[in-house]
Amino acid sequence: MNRNKLIREQLDDSLQRLAPLRSVNPPSKGWVRAIRGGLGMTAKQLAGRLGISQQSVARIEKDETSGSVTIKTMRRVAESLDCVFVCGFVPRSSLEATVRRQAEQLASKRLAKASQTMTLENQGLNADENKKVLSEMVDELVNEMPSNLWSEPR
């Protein structure tokens, strides 16, 4: 097994535990406001814990909902709320499946070009042969991970 595949498999195993988080949506007014409210803490009280103004807390809450708050700020606020700020990536499927889909796209394009030439020369493949060749090309791309695998836009 090649090194890249082993790394993908290990990451996939670790990330699989995070899969349930894909369906978690942030509260409409943001996590800071939701947690603060759940704790029964006012914005003024949170400001005091953070050593900032109440207006700054309002700004943080607004920035969170707009997506412009910094990770550093979220970590600091989370600590003051006795929480841990978590930021990461949760793949929609496995990393292996993502690589395989990309390899299929690249292989399909390459095969389409080759098939066009072969058809012009009256050497075209039938559907089963085409499927087999495509599968072999995908396997080869996944195993070799050529540098141009991700060069094509989605």
Mean pLDDT of 138-144: 92
> How many other CB atoms sit within 10 Å of the CB of residue 12?
16
| CATH 1.10.260 location in the chain | 19-80
- pTM to 2 decimals? 0.75
Identity at 69, one-letter amino acid code: V
- Give one DSSP letter per residue of 56-110, joined into a string: HHHHHHHHHHHT---HHHHHHHHHHTT---------SS-HHHHHHHHHHHHHHHH
Average pLDDT, whole number, for the chain? 90
The pLDDT of residue 125: 65
* Per CATH, domain 19-80 is 2.60.40: no
- What is the band of 28 on the pLDDT scale with cuts at 50, 70, 90? very high
